[in-house]
Structure 1
Amino acid sequence: MITYLYWIGALALAVLSLYALGYRLKAWKGAAATSISILLVATLAYFFHFQQIFVKHWGGVMSVSVPEGQKHIAATWKDDHLWIENYDPKTNTCIFKEYARGATLEGKVLIKNCNPIKAN
């Protein structure tokens, strides 16, 4: 629900800028540029910041895939960051990875010679 409100707000701001700058002030180029900028900033902010916060605090849906050949062990939240633990049986390594959209500023911890109990 919060995601819908976010996008309705972003679209409302874009339409409001078109109305205020384009219709009222007759500055259609500036209105178009402002509306596009608002939508671009809203999209980037959602995918690179707000998505995990919305899912954790207000509910929502977020999909993360386990890499091929690995087994999922656990997932946990640290502040507003999702950390996922997988096991790679080929290298006998446990991998703690921070999930971030766009693969920006992701943390990663490798534990060598890891033998998790559930790695059957």
Structure 2
Amino acid sequence: MVTYLYWLLVLFLTAGVAFAGFRFGTAKIGLLAAALVFLVGFIAYHFHYQQLFVKRYGGVMTISVPSGQRHIASTWKDDHLWVENYDPATNQCIFSEYSKGNLLEGKVVIKNCNPLMPNQ
């Protein structure tokens, strides 16, 4: 629900800036400013607000386990999602902080990790 409100606000601001550009300036400047407002809103949601909305207000977020790894656990630390996977090829447990775009992403690798996993 909060995500829908966020996008309604972004679209409302985009339309308002475009209207103001048409009304008080030129159409070209209004459209450029509206595109900039929408782009800033999109980037802010994509890189920051999505995790925050999911954790604090509920919502849906999808991530994938890298191929060849097995998922063990996930946990929230503050507003950041940490995912633990096991890589049987290298016998390592990998704790990764999930962030879109791989910006400011933390990673902890435990070597010779042998989680209690059923033998294949």
Alignment of 1:1-120 (within 5 A): 1-22=1-22, 24-118=23-117, 120=119
SS at match of 2:81: strand
Q: Which AA in structure 2 matches 1:50?
A: Y
Whether the aligned pair in 2 keeps the contact of 1:71 and 1:119 (CA below 8 Å) is no
C-alpha distance after superposition, 1:6-26 (max 9, x if no partner): 11100000111111221x214
Whether the aligned pair in 2 keeps the contact of 1:93 and 1:111 (CA below 8 Å) is yes
TM value normalised by structure 2: 0.94
Deviation at 1:103, TM superposition (A): 1.3
Q: Partners of 2:20 and 2:66 in 1: how far apart? A: 48
Q: Partners of 2:50 and 2:39 in 1: how far apart? A: 15
Displacement over 3 Å in runs of 4+: none
Q: Partners of 2:118 and 2:44 in 1: how far apart? A: 37
Whether the aligned pair in 2 keeps the contact of 1:83 and 1:96 (CA below 8 Å) is yes
C-alpha distance after superposition, 1:51-99 (max 9, x if no partner): 0000000111111111111111000011111000000111110000010
Q: Partners of 1:81 and 1:93 in 2: how far apart? A: 22
SS at match of 1:95: strand
Structure 1 stretches of 5 or more lacking a match? none
Q: Which AA in structure 2 matches 1:99?
A: Y
Deviation at 1:115, TM superposition (A): 1.1
SS at match of 1:67: coil
Q: Which AA in structure 1 matches 2:5?
A: L
Whether the aligned pair in 2 keeps the contact of 1:87 and 1:119 (CA below 8 Å) is no
Percent identical among aligned pairs is: 56
